[in-house]
Structure 1
Amino acid sequence: TTSTLMISLVTAVALGAGLAGCTSASSTIDPGPSATTTSTTTAPPAGGPSIAGSASTATDPADDTCVDGFAWMQFGDGEPRTKTLPDGCDTVIVNGSDAELTLGPTRVVVVMGDRNSVDVPRVDQVDAMGDDNTIRLDDDLQPLLNTDGTGNVVTTR
């Protein structure tokens, strides 16, 4: 429903904003130069990126791009089901279902939806708010997994 989607969007944006300011002395991931690269495009409105009912496309500045350490990867009607963000980002939010995403170095991945596959070299934390999502890593270091769904797994490729 629309209210559930809005609650999810608000939660994701708040989570992303809160995590963007966090640092860890024991962090072992270098998110690469894209995590600190800023864009000259306008930031998303206060309601969050690509609000339901808006004319969102993959070219929205808030979608599919790392801006100030935060990337919003939208998988909805009319969106491609396979995407890449090869340079990674500090925090990546995946919104949608039945999608495949390939990332570069990333510190936090938030998945909102079902049956998504995310390939990432390594990640420190995964928050899965859906069912049957798979996060595939290049190494066997297990990230912190927070989930409120069922069937969410982190595995090695």
Structure 2
Amino acid sequence: MNTGIQRSSSTPYGASTTTSPAGKKSFGEDKFKKDMASIMAGHGIPYVATACVSEPKDLMNKVKKASEIKGPAYIHVLQPCATGWGYDPSKTIKLGKLAVDSKAWILYEIENGVLRVTKKVNNPIPVEEYLGAQKRFKHLKEEQIKVIQEHADAKYEQLMAISE
């Protein structure tokens, strides 16, 4: 989602936006978002990472590491948007934690081709808790939430399988 709350290639599956609104004929975004960190890593960038504002130490460590890398670096930071996502701004950090703790947003880094998950989620919360805290997902039905949960679980397992 971009700053005008329109659909983009990074809009999550199921999200309602101003240009892909949920309604009688649509449940919102019908594709999973592009995995920008993996795309960047696929181009051989020496340092690629994901981060979230709810995990400031992880974010600061990754910024420091990126600044010390010879060559380009890319950090994809999840910054919840109260206006576009539909939640109370005082809950921004909590929403970031829900994203990470539900595996909807996985924290990892890829340094010179070596992947490492930087926050293991041993006791995940259901992705429904993360989705339910946002108006952009209020319209989703149980089967759509199940698809999102399965996708989050599969992505996490895929990354853990190759993590050092």
Alignment TM class, shorter chain as reference:
under 0.3
Bigger share in strand: 1
Q: What is the TM-score normalised by the length of structure 2?
A: 0.23
- Which one has a larger percent helix, Structure 1 or Structure 2? 2
Superposition TM-score, scaled by structure 1 size:
0.24
